[in-house]
């Protein structure tokens, strides 16, 4: 059967790829997508620890549900900001938006 | 002998094992065969449905409908199939080829995968998973994705417009649909489809919560994307919407997926509100259950067809208003009301018919009240009068003016 | 090789390839489609871990709502000149090295730690996970506070996104 460490390494790989995306991508939407990857990696960790340590208690699944809520609201607000920004300055590259006031 | 389907299954199982396969392999082969059977059944149903639909549309619109190929035109669908298979595939320039080709497959798959969890009879069920209701909603959301992919990858403005309309519509109508689905889940206290059907043994949920059934029907009709909610392919505005650029069998897959989706909605209404396979003698004769299931589904299908053939297309703002200002608030109220009423009645523990009666009356009262409130708060329609202007003016009238 | 192991390896390969495609593909819509593949792979991981409810919610929330919203926003904010601009910024080599170091460190850590090299305990067949989860989420001596906070967060996000995206 599959040991716990395989799931954890898989989640770590997903998280690292997401981290690269957040640090290296220019477009804000691409950064948001990378954050989604990282959150999913975290959820895989939660569920893997739940399954391998205490499957009788549902703590891991409860955390995963909360992470879903957080990521849904993060995307909603993030995309609203992107749309608002695009309307004002026609730019969605993260490193070109360098003024606090337009 | 009564349990015909399981008798056949165990006979096949023993046959495959006697050929030298292991138990697990035999089980796997049977599962594959079962899935294939369901898929083939779906396609056969669609072939029949297309003919029924066209005949019905013809009668409602005072035409004959197909009447050339075979008696009453019953071979019309086969002629269409041959035509559609021999057509050329056209991929537009600048199209995103991968997405363009995956989209119709995804559209088909999203509908077919829903059938995996349907209980056809008392113990004839593909996968009785514990999250059946959520599975149906989740798989249904792939349909939105397919439309979006088709619209985007076609490299066509009309297709893209149709796709963006569909996203606005399908995502917002998913909310009342899911909330209405929560009510059977609440009453059956399970998300298993078999448990939901068991819970409506004596009284269908249509009688217990008619309002949820109505809202589910309305929002599912929007999910199908056919009239009166066919804004995503409004042919008078958008050519054909998201599948403008598709031809041949790729278009055929969208077409079949649409018909099958309508039939699937019929099946969903049957399972959640019309008692699924239940009926006289169905518990002892599973084959009767299958017949009841498909008959009820077909009746709901005809009702949906009737509605959509009778109503004109609504405007996009009307469509969004109906959803956000009527369906969503009232379905939330309905959910709260059903939860509270169910809890209170459980404490009082009256006879079953009193319970059902109270629930029915409450549901109807909520519908009436919400209709009255919606009627009172209806915004005054802003009428913008444009001065009438002749498009072409004859030289004579022009001269007389000057 | 058992069927479970085969599905696991297939899922890992598909998900990692899709995730790499998300962060490297120039075309944003393609990146969003790859994101859906990666998130679907994660849903399969949840199924393998016997968390069916989480798997279905993953598909419903991420693919049904979030990914569709992302594609929609990409269409709304399309920049016609985008294809000529590089998709990554100047610091991408540092980012790549950092991510690689993080991954290698974590992988080494997990691989050598004895606590993580355990096998899953067998579940008793009749694990009624969903009703247990639901009861825990609303029970006062369990997780009702985070649950209510999450709902307040969702409400705030709903109102906030409407206010932010309002056309003035």
Residue whose structure tokens are 């004959």: B64
Chain C residues close to B140, C-beta within 8 Å? 64
Query: Which of C63, C75, C130 is closest, CB to CB, to B131?
Result: C130
Q: Over 80: is that where the pLDDT of B236 sits?
A: no
| Minimal CA separation from B218 to chain C, in Å | 20
Contacts of B24 (CB under 8 A, 6+ apart): none
The answer to whether residue A18 sits within a structural domain is yes
Q: Over 50: is that where the pLDDT of A57 sits?
A: yes
Instruction: Over range B96-105, report the average pLDDT.
Output: 83
pLDDT at residue number C14: 92
A22 against A55, higher pLDDT: A22
Q: Over 80: is that where the pLDDT of A96 sits?
A: no
The answer to whether residue A83 sits within a structural domain is yes
Query: Which of C52, C63, C130 is closest, CB to CB, to B141?
Result: C63
Instruction: Over range B365-386, report the average pLDDT.
Output: 77
CB-based contact C52 B144, cutoff 8 Å: no
| Minimal CA separation from B246 to chain C, in Å | 20
The pLDDT tens digits of the residues spanning B326-347 come to 888 899 999 998 889 888 888 8
pLDDT at residue number C85: 58
The answer to whether residue A94 sits within a structural domain is no
Residues of C within an 8 Å Cβ radius of B: 27, 29-30, 33, 36, 52-53, 56-57, 59-60, 63-65, 67-69, 71-72, 75, 128-130
% chain B with pLDDT above 90: 0
| Minimal CA separation from C33 to chain A, in Å | 11
A39 against C165, higher pLDDT: A39
The answer to whether residue A37 sits within a structural domain is yes
pLDDT at residue number C1: 58
d(CA B54, CA B58): 6
The answer to whether residue A99 sits within a structural domain is no
Q: Over 60: is that where the pLDDT of B397 sits?
A: no
Cis ω for the linkage preceding B228 (within 30 of 0) = yes
Contacts of B169 (CB under 8 A, 6+ apart): B222, B225, B229, B231, B232, B316, B319, B320
The pLDDT tens digits of the residues spanning B54-73 come to 888 888 888 887 888 778 87
pLDDT at residue number B390: 67
Of B186-200, B202-216, B220-234, the range with the lowest mean pLDDT is B220-234
The distance from CA A73 to its chain's CA centroid, rounded to whole angstroms, is 12
pLDDT at residue number B1: 47
pLDDT at residue number C81: 52
For residue A27, give the CATH number of its domain: 1.10.287.3510
The pLDDT tens digits of the residues spanning C47-74 come to 888 888 888 888 888 888 888 888 888 8
Residues 44-83 of C with CB under 8 A from A: 45-46, 48-51, 53-54, 57-58, 61-62, 65-66, 69-70, 73-74, 76-77, 79, 82
Instruction: Over range B110-117, report the average pLDDT.
Output: 88
The answer to whether residue A78 sits within a structural domain is yes
pLDDT at residue number C17: 92
Residue B191 pLDDT grade (very low, low, confident, very high; cuts 50, 70, 90): confident
Phi first, then psi: give them for residue B79, nearest 5 degrees.
-60, -40
Segments forming the whole domain that contains residue A64: 4-89
Q: Over 70: is that where the pLDDT of A101 sits?
A: no
pLDDT at residue number B396: 63
Number of domains forming the structure of chain A: 1
Instruction: Over range B373-387, report the average pLDDT.
Output: 72
Paired sense of beta strands B119-121 and B124-125, if any: antiparallel
Chain B residues close to C67, C-beta within 8 Å? 145
pLDDT-flagged residues of chain C (< 70): 1, 79-87, 124-128, 168
The answer to whether residue A98 sits within a structural domain is no
A20 touches chain C (CB under 8 A): yes
> How many Cα neighbours within 13 Å face the side chain of B218?
20
Residue B235 pLDDT grade (very low, low, confident, very high; cuts 50, 70, 90): low
CB-based contact A92 C79, cutoff 8 Å: yes
pLDDT at residue number B391: 66
The pLDDT tens digits of the residues spanning B283-325 come to 777 778 888 888 888 899 888 888 888 888 787 777 888 888 8
d(CA B234, CA B228): 10
The pLDDT tens digits of the residues spanning A77-92 come to 888 888 888 777 776 6
CB-based contact B134 C57, cutoff 8 Å: yes
Interface test with A, best of C119, C164, C166 (most A CBs within 10 A): C164
Among B176, B52, B35, which residue's Cα sits nearest to residue B117? Answer: B35
Residue whose structure tokens are 């096998």: C119
Instruction: Over range A47-71, report the average pLDDT.
Output: 84
Chains B and A touch (3+ CB pairs under 8 A): no
Dihedral of alpha carbons B314, B315, B317, B318, sign: negative
Q: What is the DSSP letter of C91?
A: T
The answer to whether residue A58 sits within a structural domain is yes
With a threshold of 0.90, tell me whether the complex ipTM lies above it: no
d(CA B376, CA B326): 13
Q: What is the DSSP letter of B323?
A: I
In the structure encoding, which two tokens stand for residue B367, read together? 């519908």
């Amino acid at each position: 059967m599959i040991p716990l460490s395989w799931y954890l390494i898989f989640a770590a790989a997903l998280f690292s790829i997401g981290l690269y995306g957040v640090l290296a991508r220019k477009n804000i939407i691409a950064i948001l997508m990378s954050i989604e990857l990282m959150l999913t990696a975290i959820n895989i960790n939660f569920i893997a620890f739940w399954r391998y340590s205490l499957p009788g208690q549902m703590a891991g699944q409860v955390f995963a549900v909360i992470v879903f809520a957080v990521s849904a609201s993060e995307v909603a607000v993030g995309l609203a900001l992107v749309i608002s920004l695009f309307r004002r300055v026609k730019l969605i590259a993260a490193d070109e938006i360098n003024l606090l006031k337009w | 002998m009564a349990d015909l389907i399981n008798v056949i299954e165990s006979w096949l199982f023993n046959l495959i094992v006697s050929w030298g396969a292991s138990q697990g392999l035999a089980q796997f082969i049977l599962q594959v065969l079962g899935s294939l059977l369901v898929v083939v059944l779906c396609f056969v149903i669609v072939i029949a449905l297309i003919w029924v639909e066209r005949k019905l549309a013809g009668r409602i619109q005072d035409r004959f409908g197909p009447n050339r190929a075979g008696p009453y035109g019953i071979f019309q669908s086969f002629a269409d199939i041959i035509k559609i298979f021999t057509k050329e595939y056209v991929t537009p320039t600048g199209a995103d080829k991968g997405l363009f080709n995956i989209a119709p497959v995804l559209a088909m798959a999203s509908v077919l995968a829903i059938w995996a969890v349907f209980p056809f009879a008392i113990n004839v069920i593909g996968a009785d998973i514990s999250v059946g209701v959520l599975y149906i909603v989740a798989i249904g959301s792939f349909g939105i994705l397919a439309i979006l992919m088709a619209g985007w990858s076609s490299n066509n403005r009309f297709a893209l417009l149709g796709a963006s309309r569909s996203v606005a519509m399908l995502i917002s109508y998913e909310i009342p649909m899911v909330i209405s689905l929560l009510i059977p889940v609440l009453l059956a206290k399970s998300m298993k489809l078999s448990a939901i059907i068991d819970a409506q043994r004596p009284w269908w949920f249509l009688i217990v919560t008619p309002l949820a059934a109505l809202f589910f029907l309305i929002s599912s009709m929007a999910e199908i994307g056919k009239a009166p909610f066919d804004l995503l392919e409004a042919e008078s505005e958008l050519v054909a919407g998201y599948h403008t650029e598709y031809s041949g069998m790729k278009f055929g897959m969208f077409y079949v997926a649409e018909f099958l989706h309508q039939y699937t909605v019929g099946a969903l209404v049957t399972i959640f509100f019309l008692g699924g396979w239940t009926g006289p003698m169905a518990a002892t004769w599973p084959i009767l259950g299958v017949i009841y299931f498909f008959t009820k589904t077909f009746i709901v299908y005809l009702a949906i067809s009737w509605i959509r053939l009778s109503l004109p297309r609504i405007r996009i703002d009307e469509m969004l208003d109906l959803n956000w200002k009527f369906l969503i608030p009232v379905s939330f109220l309905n959910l709260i009301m059903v939860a509270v009423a169910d809890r209170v009645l459980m404490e009082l523990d009256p006879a079953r018919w009193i319970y059902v009666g109270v629930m029915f009356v409450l549901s109807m009262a909520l519908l009436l009240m919400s209709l009255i409130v919606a009627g009172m708060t209806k915004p005054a329609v802003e009428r913008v009068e444009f001065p009438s202007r002749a498009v072409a003016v004859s030289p004579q009238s022009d001269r007389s003016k000057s | 090789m058992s069927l479970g192991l085969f599905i696991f390896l297939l899922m890992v390969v598909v998900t990692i390839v899709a995730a790499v495609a998300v962060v490297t593909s120039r075309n944003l819509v393609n990146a969003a489609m790859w994101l859906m593949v990666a998130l679907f792979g994660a849903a399969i991981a949840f199924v393998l871990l016997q968390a069916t409810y989480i798997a279905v919610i993953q598909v419903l929330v991420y693919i049904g709502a979030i990914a569709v919203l992302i594609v929609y926003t990409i269409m709304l904010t399309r920049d016609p000149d985008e294809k000529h601009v590089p998709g990554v910024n100047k610091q991408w080599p540092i980012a790549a090295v950092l991510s690689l170091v993080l991954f290698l460190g974590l992988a080494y850590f997990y691989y050598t730690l004895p606590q993580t090299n355990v096998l899953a305990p067998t579940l008793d067949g009749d694990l009624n996970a969903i009703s247990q989860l639901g009861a825990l989420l609303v029970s006062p001596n369990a997780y009702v506070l985070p649950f209510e906070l999450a709902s307040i967060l969702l409400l705030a996000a709903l109102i906030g996104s409407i206010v932010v995206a309002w056309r003035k």
